Amino acid sequence: MPPPRVNKKPKNESTTNNNTGTLDDPLKFLDQDYQELKKSCIADQKRFVDDKFPPDSSSIDPKNKLKLDLDKIEWLRPSKIVSDPQLIVQGVSRFDYSQGSYLGNCWFLASVGALTFQKEIMDQVMPADQSFGKDYAGIFHFRFWRFGKWIDVVIDDKLPTIKGKLIFVHSKTSNEFWPALLEKAYAKVCGSYADMHAGRVSEALLDFTGGVHICLELEKPTIDVWSLMDRAAKNKALMACGSQQGVTCQEQPVRLVRVLNPWGRGEWNGAWSDNSSLWNKVSEKELAKCRSLANDGEFWMSMEDFTKNFEDIDICCLRPDFLDNSSKCIWTSTCYNSIWESGTTAGGCINNKDSFCTNPQFRVKIEALDEECASGQCPENILVSLMQIQENRYRSLVSNYSIGFDVYLIPPEMKDEKLPAKFFYRRRSVEGSGNFINTRHVMKFFKLEPGEYLIVPSTFNPNECAKFMLSIFTKTESHTRKKKPARTYV
């Protein structure tokens, strides 16, 4: 079968149709080859020291933003911290670790908590071919998805300590070190530990999966949030908040959401909290399955309280099937890599009508669905995702532009030509991302009637230069496409 329909490539659009940067063949971050480095260390009977992320203050806080006394920090290998270091002790769990006191990276640790629920994804991020046992050489590696490509990140196992105690994330089991090593690898990608300070959960969720991301506002959701969360859980998605099927209270179903505070402490004390009397109305079987009195940062809330107390929820899944999860429909995807260039393709938003047409333009055809597919669990049939590609090594120095996109219905008589300025003077967009936001990534999940549409991604102001990736996911009938959709890059 052919790949999802793609359109004529704009002149400025780059092609990424090769095998490098895949999970099977990830790019070597900073040109470091894990296998070669490990082999060299074993042959020379020495332990790896990473000169690309050295065990000194430049890797912790090069501009001293955290106000740490860097002279007190000693970099120690796990064998110098405990007598019997292990990478993993009795499996990985969201309860394995606690956040350090010096670094505000709860957005990252919340994503790690979600990651521990999904072994398949965890194994992608943390390859299994490493330990403190046989052939230990002080070297480890992790894999992250960054802006369309998977990268393999090598680190040594020297960790920052004060008086022999880890200063950043640390395990509750003293000889377990996967959380600290994972955090170090991600800090290396970000530039330093300090560059992990403050962020959005969606950033790490995407970097762990390279998957389909959706963010839903909970105050006035446009779709059934509970239904989507339930489908996402069944499809092994990562979520900022975990969910399961509702329990029953006095034989009536109750929709409950399980929430984990990444600090590892501090819990909800309202209805369905650990000590709530509502648990007395639940069967012993479901009580044993769900309720825990431990002060571990995990708690339950009703769906109603959840939507009142949280602003949004991020869901990230390897495949887009969870968007509808109907056996009659599948989701296909197309991904474009392109660029906004000053004076040529950086036309700014629709406020700049004369130059807006110079932005890269992308066409998508929405198919008419048969009744069974169209009457699935959600009416939405397209998800559009726009991400700025950041090239500065140091995350804190990245300057995001305010970005967004607009969607226009193309009249049948207008063929493959790039649409001129007069088109946008005469017509209003039928959909779009909404307000332009100064962030790495924006998305919108919505419904379009059958027809051909134009998607125009842009920065808010003209002449703002950046590379970007536009991903388009569309619903199609399952009998017309492959059962397992593949992402196509053009």
Burial 367-394 (b: 16+ CB within 10 A, else e): eebeeebbebbbebbbbbbbbbbbeeee
Paired strand residues for 301? 257
Query: 13 CB contacts (<8 Å, ≥6 apart)?
Result: 336, 337, 338, 339, 360, 490
Under DSSP, is residue 241 helix (H, G, I), strand (E, B) or coil? coil
- Residue 394 to residues 19, 295, 399, 452: CA-CA distances in angstroms? 27, 36, 11, 40
349 noted as active-site residue? no
Question: Within 10 A of 151 (CB to CB), how many other CB atoms are there?
Answer: 18
- Residue 383 to residues 118, 446, 448, 480: CA-CA distances in angstroms? 24, 6, 10, 19
> CA-to-CA distance for 300 and 347, rounded, in angstroms?
47
Q: Of 41, 105, 190, 261, which one is the catalytic site residue?
A: 261
> CA-to-CA distance for 460 and 347, rounded, in angstroms?
9
Cβ–Cβ < 8 Å for 207, 287: no
> CA-to-CA distance for 443 and 101, rounded, in angstroms?
33
> CA-to-CA distance for 454 and 10, rounded, in angstroms?
13
Using alpha carbons, select from 390, 369, 341 the residue that is nearest to residue 480.
Answer: 369
Taken as a whole, the chain contains a residue count of 490
Using alpha carbons, select from 300, 294, 308 the residue that is nearest to residue 245.
Answer: 300
Q: What are phi and psi of 122, to 5 degrees?
A: -60, -40
Q: Of 106, 249, 290, 465, which one is the catalytic site residue?
A: 106
Sequence letter at residue 175? N
Using alpha carbons, select from 344, 335, 394 the residue that is nearest to residue 362.
Answer: 335
Six token digits for residue 204: 């790490």
> CA-to-CA distance for 323 and 227, rounded, in angstroms?
10
64 noted as active-site residue? no
Active site residues: 106, 261
